[in-house]
Chains A and B, each alone.
Chain A
Amino acid sequence: MNVWPLQFRKIGENDLLFSDDSGSFFRSDDLFLDRYIQGALTHEDAEFLAYNGQAFETDGDFAFSGFASRWAKRINTAGDLSYFILVPTLRCNLMCDYCQVSRAAENASGFDWDRDTLEQVINLLDKQKANQVKVEFQGGEPLLRLDLLDAIRNFCRSRFEAAEFVVCTNLQTVSEEAWQFLEAPDTHVSTSFDGTSKFHLKQRTKTTTVQRQFEANLDVALTRLGVDRVSALPTIDPSDCPDPAAVIHAFAARSLTSIYLRRINYQGFARKKYGFDSALVDWRQYYRRFIAALIEYNTTADVPMEEYYLTHILRRILQSGHNNHVDLRNPNWLGKDLLVIDFNGQLYPTDEARMVSRIGKIDLSIGSLEDGIDANRVATLNSNVSNFDDPDCVHCAYKAYCGLDPIDDLSRYGRVDLPRHQTDHCKSHLDLFDYAFSLLYSADPTVQKSLAIWIGVPNYNPKIAPRTL
């Protein structure tokens, strides 16, 4: 029998988590590790490994192709360009503490697409091979340029077989015209809501009048568009964070079922104002407290709730094909399936790349509407997007579930070749995977109830997380 190479990592007090490149994993102990290293696996070990898809008899047999299939299904293939993040204006009518992109004042000039830019964007969209498209309008505050949004949406609807739109808005000032625009069934709203009124006021709206205006608009959005078409994302300051239960109840009160807990991403104004990465430990503690509160909430809630990124992590551990998040996929191809078009016609591979470039730290643009995509720059960025052959990742038990984030590395360290364990991306994801596995192996029925909800099954079957006897 041949055993596929196993990576391992300490999990819990005495146990080890073993995993292979296809993402199959199990929990065992030091004794198993000794037998594995010494080539002294027992008959029972062999049976277990075969059962768990981690061994084969001969090259090409069904266990071999089963493994190959699972391995291949985890690969993020570079798809056709079909996701556009458009920034029709950088102007904004709010000034949040941690603004991501150094927004421009509401009345400033020179921060919007002009007629030519709009035409160039439409030409670019028209040239695509894909027959479906997703367009995310970012800003600034995109609702300040409803006319541009309307033009793009009308074009996409007629050009593509399927088109979907997301407007990332602060919902601060929404005209009746804008509401009518947002009401279309192919259009979604994504807004920021920092968990509770108190924190949203403190971090974003600053005055109770503006705060009330926002909350009223959020309620209108939920009523007029329905909860399925509105998402609200809290940004959390690890050094001053809202009580988890209060956040959960604020979301539940609005029938929102998904919370994407985002740690303040130090970019733009935020990078100047806050410390760099001293807050990671605070964040870990807060995150765990938050999930514990969520699990408690779900034990009795009629409508259960998830934390979006933990759900994503769990699904990436157990299943393949979850490549819809640019922070976590492997290889993390840049400038292929997703393109950001900034207010000035500059092109970026991700929204993060736009933000990093905007603050002048490093230029991660990959071209402009004027000159097209610069293939050399794209190739350079893509030289280090896969963890398959990364000298650190190859030893990691979480390799199959994780991925590289070169943009984050560049933004924080100005380089992509730091030892992984020194990067924020690696540290925070090691921690998230540790936590996710501790949940998967939990015998606590309340934890299992939440896991079932997040994984998308009626009941949690503990055999999904195997262990040797």
Chain B
Amino acid sequence: MIDLQLKVDPFPIVEPLVIRLQTVQASRFPAASENDAMLVYHDENIADFDVGGFSLRVHTTDAQSLDGDVVLVTPGRNTLHRLIRASSRHNTLLITEQCDQKCIMCSQPPKKHHTDLFDYFLQAVLLAPAQTTIGLSGGEPLLHKARLFEFLEKAQSARPDIRFHILTNGQHFDKRDRTSLSALNMRSILWGVPIYAANAAAHDQIVVKAGAHKTLQKNLAILGTCGAVLELRTVLLNSNVLHLEDLANHITKHQSFASVWAIMQLENIGYARMNWDREFYDSSFSFVDVAKAIDLATGRGMETLLYNFPLCSVPSEYRRFCVASISDWKQKYLSTCDGCSLRSTCTGFFEWYSENKGFKGIVAQ
């Protein structure tokens, strides 16, 4: 597992600080601003960076791997956050931990308190490597949509090369947002929105919010008419596996403006860990309902993908739909995977995946 936080020695600041770490003189990320901090000393356990004349000591065994990373240092805390790891394709900014849904498979259960970090996130985005895709997640980012739209507008105008992948439950749009949305470059934002069933009651039960499905339908239409690039996301559950084929029909009829439909395997953390025994659907045991949904949606021209499905859990004729979707920092392989010929293209498993409660059909190929 890759560390997203690193221990630092106490550092004399009163305001949070966003800096970009530089470990080599001829860095791939040439110093451009006062936010750049050069590596001045390192050994096997520490790395010292020059931050405006002060030394920031980071505890790391691999100083070079931090080159180009954009980090957040917070007053009084002895950790720094690696907001944007220059060497990774999987960078996500956590906008808020608040949410109005309590999805039974949530990997990041909501909290009440919110700290507004948009100003620091904006600084971070300005320092990101060229052409980076940055995830914006939560919680529900749209709970702070005025700040979010402001952040996106500023970020896009300063860094038109950056792409955003925003995960939202789609509950908080209204017609008046069309102006804000139209002001953005919608082609470089991918909106990831969950939908669990065509059946409203089934969907609402999964997200634990009455009326959520109805609002979602209305708001997906708003996103669609604003030219949003849309990724519909459906986590596979015992609660919705029998609804999948109907959902495929629903999406191809009512959300055909979506770019992609992702059917996702469960990540056993947060509420999902709590509900695992009840909700984990072992697709390595029976794939029929997933297959029917893929056949219907793909046949009607909707690009359909499988996220978080280890290749051996999927019949060979459906493996071409699998994407190596698990983020690098929380991905692992099992001992069974040693010597598997498909390992290099396989998504693997979540760090917290538990073998004895998981797929029954994991076999090296």
Cβ–Cβ contact A62 & B220, under 8 A: yes
Against B, the Cβ 8 Å flags (1 = close, 0 = not) of A433-469 are 0000000000000000000100111111101100000
Chain B, 248-262, CB within 8 A of any chain A CB: 249, 253-257
**Is A65 part of the contact surface with B, judged by Cβ < 8 Å?**
yes
Bits for B227-247, please: 1 = Cβ < 8 Å to A, else 0.
000000000000000000100
Residues in A neighbouring B300, C-beta threshold 8 A = 318-319, 464
Nearest A residue (CB) for B245: A463
Contact A461 B318 (CB under 8 A): no
Cα(A460)–Cα(B298), bound, Å: 10
Q: Judge whether B217 and A62 touch: CB under 8 Å.
A: yes
Q: Which one, B36-44, B76-84, B88-96, B289-297, is touching chain A?
A: B289-297
Instruction: Judge if B299 is at the interface, Cβ distance under 8 Å.
Output: yes
Do the beta carbons of A464 and B296 come within 8 Å of each other?
A: yes
Give the contacting residue for A461; candidates B218, B254, B255, B295; CB below 8 A. B295
Contact (Cβ within 8 A) A320 B295: no
CB distance from B292 to the nearest CB of A (A): 5
Q: Which residue of A lies closest to B319 (CB)?
A: A458
Q: Judging by beta carbons under 8 Å apart, are A459 and B298 in contact?
A: no
Stretch at the interface among A66-74, A125-133, A146-154, A228-236: A66-74
Complex CA gap A460/B317 in Å reads 13
Is the Cβ of B299 less than 8 Å from the Cβ of A73? no
Q: Which residues of B contact A (CB under 8 A)?
A: 217-218, 220-221, 224-225, 245, 249, 253-257, 291-292, 294-296, 298-301, 315, 317-318
Q: Chain B: interface secondary structure?
A: helix
Inter-chain CA distance A51–B199, complex, in Å, is 11
Q: Is the CB of A321 closer than 8 A to any CB of chain B?
A: yes
Asked if residues A319 and B301 are in contact (CB atoms below 8 Å), the reply is yes
Complex Cα distance, B292 from A318, in Å, reads: 16
Residue of B nearest to A70 (CB): B256
Q: How far is the CB of A240 from chain B (nearest CB, A)?
A: 37
A285-315 contact mask (Cβ, 8 Å, vs B): 1 or 0: 0000000000000000000000000000001
How far apart sit A458 and B316, CA to CA, in the bound complex (Å)? 10
Does A52 lie at the interface of the complex (its beta carbon under 8 Å from any beta carbon of B)? Answer: yes
Closest CB-CB distance, B301 to chain A, in whole Å? 3
> 5 closest Cβ contacts across the A-B interface?
A319-B301, A53-B253, A66-B254, A461-B295, A62-B217
Q: Tell me whether A330 is interfacial, beta carbon within 8 Å.
A: no
- A161 touches B (CB below 8 Å): no
CA–CA, A149 to B218, complex, Å? 54
* Contacts A66-B255, A458-B294; A61 near B221 (Cβ below 8 A): yes
Q: Which residues of B contact A205 (CB under 8 A)?
A: none
Mark A316-327 against chain B: 1 for CB-CB distance below 8 A, else 0: 001111000000
Query: How distant is A200 from chain B, measured CB to nearest CB, in Å?
Result: 36
Residues of B within 8 A of A33 (CB): none
Other-chain residue from A60, A320, A459 in contact with B291 (beta carbon distance below 8 A): A459
CA distance A464 to B295 in the complex (A): 9
Q: How many residues of A contact B (CB 8 A)?
A: 29
Measured between beta carbons, the chain A residues less than 8 angstroms from B301 are 315, 318-321
A457 contacts B298, C-beta separation under 8 Å: yes
Tell me the smallest distance from the CB of A238 to a CB of chain B, in Å.
32
Nearest chain A CB to B197 CB, angstrom units: 14
A170 interfacial contact with B, CB 8 Å: no
A458 CA to B296 CA in the complex, in Å? Answer: 10
Establish whether residues A461 and B299, one from each chain, have CB atoms under 8 Å apart when the complex forms. yes
Q: B256, A73: Cβ atoms under 8 Å? A: yes
- 8 Å CB interface, A7-64 against B: 24, 51-53, 60-64
The CA-CA distance from A51 to B299 in the complex, in Å, is 17
Do residues A24 and B253 form an inter-chain contact, with CB atoms below 8 A? yes
Contact A457 to B254, CB < 8 A, known contacts A61-B221, A62-B218, A319-B300: no
The answer on a CB contact under 8 Å between B224 and A458 is no
Write out the residue numbers on chain B whose beta carbons fall within 8 Å of the beta carbon of A52: 253
- Chain B residues with CB under 8 A of A455: 299
Q: Which of A452, A459, A463 contacts B249 (CB 8 A)?
A: A463
Closest Cβ of chain A to B204, distance in Å, is 16
Contact of A66 among B256, B291, B295, B299 (CB under 8 A): B256
| Complex contact B296–A69 (CB within 8 A) | no
Residue of A nearest to B254 (CB): A66
Which residues from A are CB-within-8-Å of B218? 61-62
Q: Give the distance to chain A from B12, nearest Cβ to Cβ, in Å.
A: 51
Contact of B299 among A70, A318, A320 (CB under 8 A): A318
Q: Report if A457-B217 is in contact (Cβ < 8 Å); known contacts: A66-B255, A70-B256, A463-B245.
A: no
A-B contact pairs, 14 of them (CB 8 A): A60-B221, A61-B218, A63-B254, A64-B221, A65-B225, A69-B255, A318-B299, A456-B298, A457-B294, A460-B299, A461-B295, A461-B299, A463-B249, A463-B296
Q: How far is the CA of A251 from the CA of B192 in the complex (A)?
A: 45
Q: Which residue of the partner chain A has the closest CB to B300?
A: A318
B224 and A65 form a contact (CB under 8 A): yes
Residues of chain B lying within 8 A (CB to CB) of residue A315: 301
- Nearest to B292 among chain A residues (CB) is A461
**Of all chain B residues, which has the CB nearest A452?**
B295
A353 to chain B, nearest CB (A): 30
Q: Select one of A63, A65, A319, A457 contacting B295, CB under 8 A.
A: A457
Alpha-carbon distance between A430 and B220 when the two chains are bound, in angstroms:
37
Which residues from B are CB-within-8-Å of A65? 221, 224-225, 254, 257
Chain B residues, Cβ within 8 Å of A457 = 294-295, 298-299
CB-contact partner of A51 in B224, B249, B255, under 8 A: B249
**Given A62-B218, A62-B220, A458 and B254 contact (CB-CB distance below 8 Å):** no
Q: Give the contacts of A342-387 with B (CB-CB under 8 A).
A: none
- Distance in angstroms from A412 CB to nearest chain B CB is 33
Within the assembled complex, what's the spacing in Å between the Cα atoms of A256 and B318? 24
Interface residues of A in 142-201 (CB under 8 A from B): none
Inside 8 A of B224's CB, which chain A residues have their CB? 65, 69
- Output the nearest chain A residue to B220 by Cβ-Cβ distance: A62
> Which of B245, B257, B291, B317 has its CB near the most chain A CB atoms (within 10 A)?
B257
